[in-house]
Amino acid sequence: MVEARAFWVEEPGRGAIRAEALPEPGPGDAVVRALVSGISRGTESLVFRGLVPNELKEAMRCPFQAGEPPGPVKYGYCLVGQVEAGPPALVGRRVFVLHPHQDRLVVPATSCRPVPETVPTERAALAANMETAVNILWDAGATVGQRVAVVGGGVVGCLVAFLARRMPGATVQLIDVDPTRRATAARLGLAFATPETATGDRDLVIHASGTEAGLATALALAGQEATVVEASWYGTRPVAAPLGLGFHPRRLRLISSQVGQVAAVQRPRWSHADRLDLALRLLEVEAMDALIDGETPFADLPDRMPHLAESRVLCHLVRY
């Protein structure tokens, strides 16, 4: 039996690295050595802080999760590694796996999505976030020529805005309360505004700030009969949505987006694997390196995670 090391949330606010025995690989399995993994700032911080509602524990399960919130739980889904053994077509290749932070793993080979040669290992850690961004735009019914506002300059918000900007004729503005996000927006070729300077009367508004104030901003920026997509997830926090004032007179359409299912408009033809492969291909653009926000050695993760869970870092890498 080969031993692996994995990061566990022992209880809210406290993590540890545990040793565990890897199972013997079967004929359809791959043995993967981790290279990097990414910390998904939104969901993982909620798990680490113990803010997952009991009634949503099953809905929030990620592939290869062990245990359950509030802990002990092994959680995460942004790992890039190299296949050491398994199907010949995968051996030696870099792959993305929706797996918690762990230095070696045995997983079904079908869960290993090959990383394109044109995508660096570090950038490939953004694949789960890119997959979310793709699903948001599918849920939104985004199309050419739209005037789009994205509220929230985190990783998902930046990726949504970046993809929306590539639609012919679209005008896109990334909005955040933190003026330092302007530099990130510039590296991605995006127009930036604060809530006070943002342009209203938008055809499509996507909210990804995870805050009540951000949702209010998103609703205020929507034009007549526009669509507002709520892409944030709040855990146990109650959220007051300002549905008075112009919400009804402007006949706004407020919808949710969540990556657990492929958007309905694509679901008959696209699998989860298809969507993840698309997300990896979309990461070929060098500018997306602007979303990589530092790294931590795997051994230091228990000490660093409390700070990372409370900070506004973008995609922070774990290096193995």
Name residue 312's amino acid.
R
pLDDT of residue 2: 85
pLDDT of residue 56: 80
Helix, strand or coil for residue 297?
A: strand
Candidates 265, 254, 262; CA nearest to 232 is 254
**Residue 236 pLDDT class (50, 70, 90 cuts):** low
39 DSSP β-pair partners:
316
CATH class of 142-256: alpha beta
Candidates 79, 50, 40, 39; CA nearest to 210 is 40
How confident is the model over 28-62, as pLDDT tens digits?
A: 999 999 999 999 877 898 899 998 888 888 878 89
Superfamily of structural domain 3-127+282-319 = Medium-chain alcohol dehydrogenases, catalytic domain (3.90.180.10)
Integer Cα distance of 268 and 266 in angstroms: 6
pTM: 0.94
Q: Where are the domains of the chain?
A: 3-127+282-319, 142-256
Integer Cα distance of 146 and 227 in angstroms: 11
Q: How large is the average pLDDT for residues 168-192?
A: 96
pLDDT over 80 at 301, yes or no: yes
Integer Cα distance of 76 and 97 in angstroms: 10
Integer Cα distance of 177 and 262 in angstroms: 31
Residue whose tokens read 């901003």: 217
How confident is the model over 90-148, as pLDDT tens digits?
A: 999 999 999 999 999 999 999 999 999 999 999 999 999 999 999 999 999 999 999 99
- Segment holding 280, helix H or strand E: helix 272-281
Integer Cα distance of 237 and 174 in angstroms: 25
pLDDT of residue 118: 97
